[in-house]
Amino acid sequence: MKNRYTPLTLIVAVLVIAAASGFLFAPPAQESPVRVVMDNSGGRVIFSHAKHAEDLGYDCADCHHDNIGQDKPLACATCHPVAFDKKFRSEHQKNFPDKKACLRCHDEVPTGPLAKEDRPDTENIPLLSDAFHKQCMGCHEQDGGPYGADSCYKCHAR
């Protein structure tokens, strides 16, 4: 009777060891996300960092602004919102790791709410969709990626 539990005990032991090793020997953290999903009115876009960086040879600074007070690139929506609405104006500063990044858009590091005349000219800061289109379509046109009116659904999901 004891012999019938032996295979079951071995299977459970192997599964426990496999699960424990997954926690003990986890893979190293990625430098950048493998893929980024961007939801938008034109249809979801799944952007592959691996394809653009490893396969096509782009560097982080080719797409992300550099020298704005951070060690790693920031998410695009940190500076380029969907809209420059009240929520963005009141909360965006929480997304920056260092106050030096404020100088990208502000003349001085803000210490409180700004008067209307002291706010950055948001007419010259593209919204998120405009920033993506300018950045992505510019490279696609220059480097031979999908480009033009008939190519939208090569990146945008229907």
Q: State yes or no: 79 annotated in a binding site.
A: yes
Spatial CB neighbours of 44, under 8 Å, sequence gap ≥ 6 = 37, 38, 156, 157
pLDDT tens for 29-75 read: 766 677 888 877 778 888 888 888 888 888 877 887 765 556 677 77
State the average pLDDT over residues 112-138. 85
Predicted confidence at residue 11, as pLDDT, reads 93
Tell how many helices (H) and how many strands (E) occur in the chain: 7, 2
Q: Which structural domains are found in the chain, ordered by start?
A: 35-155 (3.90.10)
pLDDT tens for each residue of 5-31:
888 899 999 999 999 888 888 777 766
Element (H, E) at 48: strand 45-48
* Per-residue pLDDT at 145 exceeds 80: yes
Determine the Cα–Cα distance for residues 23 and 25; give it in Å rounded to an integer: 6
Q: Coil, helix or strand for 88?
A: helix
Confirm whether residue 49 is marked as ligand binding.
Answer: yes
155 is in an annotated binding site: no
Give the rounded percent of residues in the chain with a pLDDT score beyond 70: 93
133 is in an annotated binding site: no
Is 140 annotated to bind a ligand? Reply is no
Q: What's the pLDDT at 98?
A: 79
| Residue 63 annotated as part of some ligand binding site | yes
Is 106 assigned to a binding site?
A: yes
- Kindly report the CA angle at 16 between 10 and 21, in degrees rounded to 5? 125
Average pLDDT over residues 133-143: 85
136 marked ligand binding residue: no
